[in-house]
Amino acid sequence: MTSPVSDAGAGFSTADFSLDDVRREGLLEPAGTEASPHDGTGRVQLSFTVLDSAGTSTDRSVRVPPGVTVFDSASWNGIAIDSTCGGHGTCHKCRVRVDGDVPVSRHDLRTFTSEQLEEGWRLGCLVQATRDLHVVVPPLTTRPKAATVGVGRQVILRPAVQKRYVELAEPTLTDQRTDLARLLEAVDDLEPVPDLYALRRLPTVLREADLKVTAVVVDESLIDVEAGDTTGVRHAIAFDLGTTTVVATLLDLATGTPVAVASMLNRQQPFGGDVISRISATMLDDRALARLQQAAAETMAALAAQVCEEGGVDPAHVYEVAIAGNATMTALALGIDPEPLGVAPFVMATAQPPVVLAADLGLALHPRARAMFFPALGAYVGGDIVAGMLATGMDRDKRTRLFIDVGTNCEIVLSDGDTTVSTAAPAGPAFEGGAIRCGMRAADGAIEVVRLGGDDPVQLQVIGDVEPRGLCGSGLVDAVSELVRIGLLDSSGRFVSEDRAAELVPDLADRLTRIGDERVFVLHRPHPDSDPADCVVLSQRDVRELQFAKAAISTGWSLLLQELGLETGDLQQVLLAGSFGSYLSPAAAVRIGLVPKLPLLRIVSAGNVAGEGAKMALLSIRERAGAATLLEEVRYVELSDRSDFNDRFVEQLAFGD
Ligand code: FES
């Protein structure tokens, strides 16, 4: 099969690129699809109608970069679709009904009748979203033994939370075994050690429930005894504890499926937008650490309450939480002084925080619910990245892959299939809209996609489809990339002269103007005669901010490539991760040099991989153990003390070749 491979620009060849080697999720279409062409820019909206076995339905809409499959888009957003192959096109279980004209793959032909194809039935992992789609997801048909999580990862369900229903023999004068001995003998496959809480409840619950009880075990601890058979009720919450946004996913551990997902801004925001300002806050004020800890606790508690309510789950049936956060967020949530993380030589209190009670983090769940934090590789490659590595299988995949979590602190991991190295690059706040004249977070009114030139010379996509108010990170990258493409920004990142602009793109030349002394490009004018100061603009200084950010990131990955003796052409896949990276336009990211210059199909939006890794750890103790192993397998490369860092950084400042 031949597949169209989009070049992200001139200067590299796709002829020697074998899709079969790298056929995977996201922009790489799985085997059997007729690939839908797309240019890797913009966003598409997927509206899901999710049916359940009771005959009710819920509607959810998500926006994703074009080319992501329906299956991946659903799984990133907590919508469960049947699968046993993890989205690789082999199990033929991921059946969905798509409204509108969608290509039929040869696997679809084998799976559906012609009437079903006519009705829009397709295998969800083979449908690339290249335009807005409405998708109907039928109820799950099987009680799965495995779950699809992360980036196409399939994990066998073996949660740390286990339940056993037992019916115990009545004590008699000839059988005076203790209540505990009686119970432990009945659950001898688990060999748990009882918590005092469970012991206190045991005599009463046993007698009230006629000796028919369910033992609740987390790891090796017997944490509770519940009356009757409650084995079907087992929940856990995965937290992605981000500096900006915190996401909680409530999981049904019996089926491995997400029940509800919610997110909110981290309530630590008033202490500053990035980790350095929060660390500084603790250095300046003795009470700040306690307040930051409290703010993290409140954020997670509010989200836990929200997902339990939305999922109709009693919080007392949530027995475990997993938390993936960077080293600073982890320290603050645990009330550990983060100051050493903020000053050289950047030392953590511990790489592997202990398991604690969720109640000690302020979470009102089962009183003995456990909370596990992901281990960290270094002060700036934290538990969120370890979770991301787990979700993407960075350490197991034999391909040469680069993982970039784009944010204020950008974490980069490179693996050649044998050796894995990681580093962190301080990209600054540009991607969060910070230090940008019209910058804002990705909220209603933020320009997220920019296209320049052509008949309609300025095309903008705005979050919420409202009047543009500013520019979020992906809009910033798009705007700069487009200005480079049409020639209004030269490769050094300087706006060209007015005369040159008039020559190159006469339709847009009047948008290149000034506010005071500073040159700006007007992206949106509220009125035709608005003063530039009242418009949404991209300023010369904004371009410089983005240049520094992208140079920090590209210096990071280029030095990691050098560490492993690799060239950019050796990379078989680049994963863009994190709440910002996943929404970057791959084409724009390539054009400005934020990611290596590669065919677009090798650049994959990986979604919220930290949250996926946290889910994985809750669903599988084997995967959880894998996270700990990563600490020994992955080598951290410190960039700041390298003699070639500055030269490389300066080289990377230019846009394009
Ligand atoms: S064929 Fe298995 S998930 Fe699509």
Q: d(Cα 264, Cα 247) in Å, to the nearest integer?
A: 7
Q: d(Cα 490, Cα 500) in Å, to the nearest integer?
A: 11
Instruction: Name the residue among 19, 223, 156, 75 with its Cα closest to residue 582.
Output: 75
Is residue 89 lining ligand 1, measured as CB closer than 6 Å?
yes
Predicted pLDDT of residue 84 = 67
Is residue 71 lining ligand 1, measured as CB closer than 6 Å?
yes
599 Cα–ligand 1 center, Å: 25
The b/e string for 464-495 (b: 16+ C-beta within 10 A; e otherwise) is eeeebbbbbbbbbbbbbbbbbbbebbeeebeb
Gyration radius from the chain CA atoms: 26
Query: Which of 29, 90, 122, 137 has most ligand 1 atoms within 8 Å of its beta carbon, as the pocket-test mutant?
Result: 90
Instruction: Name the residue among 445, 462, 392 with its Cα closest to residue 422.
Output: 392
Residues 199-212 have pLDDT tens digits of 999 999 999 999 99
Is residue 93 lining ligand 1, measured as CB closer than 6 Å?
yes
Cis? peptide before 345, omega within 30° of 0:
yes
Least confident of 19-33, 99-113, 465-479, 493-507: 19-33
Is residue 90 lining ligand 1, measured as CB closer than 6 Å?
yes
Q: What is the mean pLDDT of residues 316-323?
A: 98
Does pLDDT of 13 surpass 50?
A: no
Instruction: Name the residue among 327, 326, 331, 338 with its Cα closest to residue 361.
Output: 331
610 Cα–ligand 1 center, Å: 23
Least confident of 45-54, 62-71, 359-368: 62-71
Residue 87 phi, psi (nearest 5): 85, 25
Confidence class for position 38, pLDDT limits 50, 70, 90: low
Confidence class for position 520, pLDDT limits 50, 70, 90: very high
Q: d(Cα 111, Cα 270) in Å, to the nearest integer?
A: 53
Atom of ligand 1 nearest to the CA of 81: 3
Q: d(Cα 3, Cα 599) in Å, to the nearest integer?
A: 12
Atom of ligand 1 nearest to the CA of 89: 1
Instruction: Name the residue among 631, 622, 161 with its Cα closest to residue 371.
Output: 161
Residue 371 phi, psi (nearest 5): -125, 120
Other Cβ atoms within 10 Å of 56 Cβ, number: 9
95 Cα–ligand 1 center, Å: 8
Predicted pLDDT of residue 293 = 97
* Kind of pairing between the strands at 446-452 and 121-123: unpaired
34-43, 107-116, 321-330, 433-442 — most confident range: 321-330
Is residue 50 lining ligand 1, measured as CB closer than 6 Å?
no
Other Cβ atoms within 10 Å of 219 Cβ, number: 17
Is residue 125 lining ligand 1, measured as CB closer than 6 Å?
yes
Confidence class for position 62, pLDDT limits 50, 70, 90: confident
Least confident of 125-129, 147-151, 330-334, 618-622: 147-151
Predicted pLDDT of residue 426 = 80
Predicted pLDDT of residue 37 = 53
Any residues with CB less than 8 A from the CB of 100 and at least 6 apart, and which? 120, 133, 134
H/E segment holding residue 495: none
Q: Three-state SS for 75?
A: helix
Is residue 154 lining ligand 1, measured as CB closer than 6 Å?
no
Confidence class for position 29, pLDDT limits 50, 70, 90: very low
211: region left, alpha or beta (phi > 0 left; psi from -120 to 50 alpha): left
Q: Determine contact, residues 249/78, Cβ cutoff 8 Å.
A: yes
Residues 329-379 have pLDDT tens digits of 999 999 999 999 999 888 999 999 999 999 999 999 999 999 999 999 989
Confidence class for position 145, pLDDT limits 50, 70, 90: low
C-alpha distance from residue 594 to each of 546, 555, 601 (Å): 10, 9, 16
> Token pair for residue 637?
């490369």
pTM: 0.77
Residues 482-519 have pLDDT tens digits of 999 999 999 999 999 999 999 999 999 999 999 999 99
Q: Three-state SS for 188?
A: coil
131-135, 199-203, 490-494, 620-624 — most confident range: 199-203
Q: Determine contact, residues 535/524, Cβ cutoff 8 Å.
A: yes
Q: d(Cα 105, Cα 639) in Å, to the nearest integer?
A: 46
Is residue 85 lining ligand 1, measured as CB closer than 6 Å?
yes
Predicted pLDDT of residue 11 = 31
Q: d(Cα 220, Cα 191) in Å, to the nearest integer?
A: 7
Atom of ligand 1 nearest to the CA of 82: 3
39 Cα–ligand 1 center, Å: 25
409 Cα–ligand 1 center, Å: 35
Q: d(Cα 560, Cα 555) in Å, to the nearest integer?
A: 9
In the chain, % of residues over pLDDT 70: 90
C-alpha distance from residue 482 to each of 458, 589, 590, 592 (Å): 10, 11, 12, 9
Q: Is 110 exposed, middle or buried (0-12, 13-18, 19+ CB in 10 A)?
A: exposed
Is residue 32 lining ligand 1, measured as CB closer than 6 Å?
no
Residues 443-474 have pLDDT tens digits of 899 999 999 988 888 999 999 889 999 999 88
Query: Which of 24, 29, 93 has most ligand 1 atoms within 8 Å of its beta carbon, as the pocket-test mutant?
Result: 93
Residue nearest to atom 2 of ligand 1 (CA): 91
Predicted pLDDT of residue 41 = 66
Predicted pLDDT of residue 68 = 81
Q: For the chain, how far is it from start to end, CA to CA, in angstroms?
A: 32
609 Cα–ligand 1 center, Å: 20
Does pLDDT of 153 surpass 90?
A: no
C-alpha distance from residue 450 to each of 273, 469, 577, 652 (Å): 26, 14, 21, 24
Is residue 325 lining ligand 1, measured as CB closer than 6 Å?
no
Does pLDDT of 147 surpass 80?
A: no
Which of 34 and 473 is assigned the larger pLDDT? 473
Residue 479 phi, psi (nearest 5): -60, -45
Predicted pLDDT of residue 442 = 82
Residue with tokens 């009183």: 367
Q: Determine contact, residues 452/428, Cβ cutoff 8 Å.
A: no
Least confident of 275-289, 346-360, 626-640: 626-640
Least confident of 24-28, 54-58, 404-408, 457-461: 24-28
Predicted pLDDT of residue 79 = 77
Q: What is the mean pLDDT of residues 81-96?
A: 79
Instruction: Quote helix, strand, coil % in the chain, to nearest 5.
Output: 35, 25, 40
Predicted pLDDT of residue 511 = 94
82 Cα–ligand 1 center, Å: 8
Q: d(Cα 418, Cα 212) in Å, to the nearest integer?
A: 51
Atom of ligand 1 nearest to the CA of 85: 2
Mean pLDDT of the chain: 87
> Token pair for residue 593?
């040099």
Which of 302 and 146 is assigned the larger pLDDT? 302
Confidence class for position 39, pLDDT limits 50, 70, 90: low
Which of 397 and 270 is assigned the larger pLDDT? 270
**Which residue type, as a one-letter code, is found at position 191?**
E
Confidence class for position 7, pLDDT limits 50, 70, 90: very low
Is residue 209 lining ligand 1, measured as CB closer than 6 Å?
no
Residues 162-191 have pLDDT tens digits of 999 999 999 999 999 999 999 999 988 888
94 Cα–ligand 1 center, Å: 5
Q: What is the mean pLDDT of residues 229-236?
A: 96
Does pLDDT of 10 surpass 50?
A: no
Least confident of 133-142, 346-355, 530-539: 133-142
Instruction: Name the residue among 284, 321, 327, 287 with its Cα closest to residue 304.
Output: 321
Does pLDDT of 529 surpass 70?
A: yes
Residue nearest to atom 3 of ligand 1 (CA): 87
* Bridge partners, residue 528, by sequence: none
Confidence class for position 58, pLDDT limits 50, 70, 90: confident
Confidence class for position 40, pLDDT limits 50, 70, 90: low
The b/e string for 263-299 (b: 16+ C-beta within 10 A; e otherwise) is beebbbeebebbbbebbbbbeeeeebbebbbebbbeb
Is residue 255 lining ligand 1, measured as CB closer than 6 Å?
no
Atom of ligand 1 nearest to the CA of 126: 4
Q: Determine contact, residues 272/607, Cβ cutoff 8 Å.
A: no
